[in-house]
A and B are shown apart, each in its own frame.
Chain A
Amino acid sequence: MSLTNDQLQTVAHLARIAVEPEWTEALRSDLNGILEQAGRLDDPRLNDLEPMAHPLDQVQRLRPDTVTETDKRETLMAGAPAQEQGLFLVPKVIE
């Protein structure tokens, strides 16, 4: 299975990563090299195995629905590139 340029652009858009034109060909070749290895997963022994999502087959733990964290809005927002009055600033979305 090999990735075409159009597919690469679609995937890049889904991932919100701009791929510079001069990188496209090399990137496509890298990705195809990686995806080529995935061919090993065609092994028929895998057909009937149960997919494994977690190494210990753990179930999700639940906790009581109580407040455990106090408000740290200012501290947590301090790392944002642009903010004002407790809001993240972004370019205008609605005209």
Chain B
Amino acid sequence: MSTSDTPQRGGDAALINASIAQLRNGLSAGEYTVADLAAVFARRIETIDPSLNSLVSRVEPVEPASSTGRLAGIPFVHKDIFCAKGTRTTCGSRMLADWVAPYDATVHERLTQSGAVLLGKTNMDEFAMGSSNENSHFGAVANPWDTNAVPGGSSGGSAAAVAARLVPFATGTDTGGSIRQPAAFCGVTGIKPTYGRVSRYGMIAYASSFDQGGVIAKSAADCALVLGEMAGFDERDSTSADRPVPDYVAGLDESIRGLRVGIPKQWFSDALDPAVGDAVTVAIDELRAAGAETVEIDLPDADIALAAYYLLAPAEASSNLSRFDGVRFGYRCEDPKDLQDLYERTRSEGFGSEVKRRILVGTYALSAGYYDAFYRRAQKARRLITDHFQRAFEQCDVIAGPVTPTPAFDRGAHSADPAKMYLEDIFTIPVNLAGLPGMSVPAGFVEGRPVGLQLIGRHFDEARLLNVAHQYQQRVDWHERMPSFAADSANDNREG
């Protein structure tokens, strides 16, 4: 791609804060070229990312496949769990540190067909297992709002990159909260669609009955645009949902007057940091001011949901990750003395501690004599939680509450106790158990660290979630806030 002069109008600062629709207009009007835009964001990655570590690989931009698609010329980054042919795809692991994807994920194929321009792959918790991005072979990621804080995980690199305005949007995946929690911690907007809405083909598997790809962007409007391009039936994913994708952008401007918003009373308990609770309550008041009605609902047993998830997801992981054997992909230990030694040392050296912990928990839960006590019991709990949601949705159209019990915590705060770290996911995991769509929307700050409002919808009701989030974002400007060091860098970079 050739680069012409840097755009003159407003400099980089205007471009990096622009919506995707505004960037598309600028490109169509000839104010700047696709190459200009890629260069602006590539330069930000170059100068800012060394202090964040949000990317594990940079990708040289190529001419987009479409000049008319809805994302034509829009730069983006992938969570490094998505295969893009010819790019290194590591999943945050030593196991795949040098593995080059031989094919494209459906998500990548669809985004590039729409004209989006890949600039890099983002850092993540190894194999998507983590809530802090501290479990990456490529090092921790800093939260752009406070570099002592974690960005959340597992899509921590994607959330940090969007928050620092390194790209207009990033892909993410969410198995137990991995899009919503980092989006909340980094003050950006994220959507985890209904299970089956976005193809899992070419997305490296963690827990297949939970994994779901989605989007992290600055606003609900941007998420709507990108999700519309990513979503839809894919015959190469056996659990892909064969139903039409509505025009998510078209529904954004609908009024939310009369919308019934369910507030789960159990989520506003002692487990919730009162300051986070206050911010979320103010956000819910804003929905009421926009004409929504609120109704108190029951969503009990979050502790049972957590216990079930931390058996089911590791059980599925222990099976999915058995493919990393030192024979077919990636890493192999030095000088194996026999095949057994090759398997055991390769996996011991290639996986980090958290991945090994989860594989071992999963193997135990599935092993003879324990299957009924753990795995089957957890599947019954999954039904219990899903039934709770079903009853709740008889009284309301969407559910609103916190994404996380606290704002972003300090790096190293939970590393001594994995079970404690798991509590971070208490409000996100129930949504994955039921396969529902969920969003995180910036809703203020506590001591300089962002807070997220979680919106949960019925199956395949992404359009309504995006509509509610967009209407909220018409009334507040939390999603337009930018971390100060990223803003300073924008000024430093400004040319023309």
Question: How many Å lie between the Cα of A95 and that of B364 in the bound state?
Answer: 33
Among B213-270, those with CB < 8 Å from A are: 235, 238-239, 241-242
A20 near B348: Cβ-Cβ < 8 Å: yes
Among A1-48, those with CB < 8 Å from B are: 1, 3, 7-8, 11-20, 23, 27, 30-31, 33-41, 43, 45-47
Question: How many Å lie between the Cα of A87 and that of B56 in the bound state?
Answer: 31
B344 near A17: Cβ-Cβ < 8 Å: yes
Contact with A along B41-79 (1 / 0, CB 8 A): 000000000000000000000000000000000000000
B307 near A75: Cβ-Cβ < 8 Å: no
A82 / chain B contacts, CB cutoff of 8 Å: 332
CB-nearest residue of chain A to B356: A17
B339 near A91: Cβ-Cβ < 8 Å: yes
* Min CB gap A2→B, angstroms: 11
Check if A66 is an interface residue, CB within 8 A of chain B: no
- Name A75's contact: one of B102, B322, B373 (CB within 8 Å): B102
Interface of A, helix, strand, loop or mixed by DSSP: loop
A88 near B379: Cβ-Cβ < 8 Å: no
**Given known contacts A14-B367, A49-B380, A54-B239, A30 and B357 CB-to-CB distance under 8 angstroms:** yes
Among B58-115, those with CB < 8 Å from A are: 99-100, 102-103
Check if B183 is an interface residue, CB within 8 A of chain A: no
B417 / chain A contacts, CB cutoff of 8 Å: 33
CB-nearest residue of chain A to B361: A34
B337 near A91: Cβ-Cβ < 8 Å: yes
A37 near B344: Cβ-Cβ < 8 Å: no
**Given known contacts A17-B348, A37-B419, A55-B209, A80 and B364 CB-to-CB distance under 8 angstroms:** no
- Name A91's contact: one of B238, B336, B348, B378 (CB within 8 Å): B336
- Name B384's contact: one of A15, A46, A63 (CB within 8 Å): A46
Stretch at the interface among B29-37, B120-128, B131-139, B323-331: B323-331
**Given known contacts A41-B381, A80-B328, A90-B342, A17 and B196 CB-to-CB distance under 8 angstroms:** no
Check if B386 is an interface residue, CB within 8 A of chain A: yes
A93 / chain B contacts, CB cutoff of 8 Å: 338-339
B329 near A79: Cβ-Cβ < 8 Å: yes
A86 / chain B contacts, CB cutoff of 8 Å: none
Question: How many Å lie between the Cα of A12 and that of B419 in the bound state?
Answer: 20
* Min CB gap A11→B, angstroms: 5
Question: How many Å lie between the Cα of A37 and that of B417 in the bound state?
Answer: 13
Check if B433 is an interface residue, CB within 8 A of chain A: yes
Check if A85 is an interface residue, CB within 8 A of chain B: no
CB-nearest residue of chain A to B309: A37
Check if A65 is an interface residue, CB within 8 A of chain B: no
A78 near B357: Cβ-Cβ < 8 Å: no
Contact with A along B7-51 (1 / 0, CB 8 A): 000000000000000000000000000000000000000000000
B378 near A55: Cβ-Cβ < 8 Å: no
B348 near A18: Cβ-Cβ < 8 Å: yes
* Min CB gap A70→B, angstroms: 12
Residue contacts A-B, CB under 8 angstroms, 8 given:
A11-B364, A30-B418, A31-B360, A38-B311, A43-B301, A43-B304, A47-B380, A49-B380
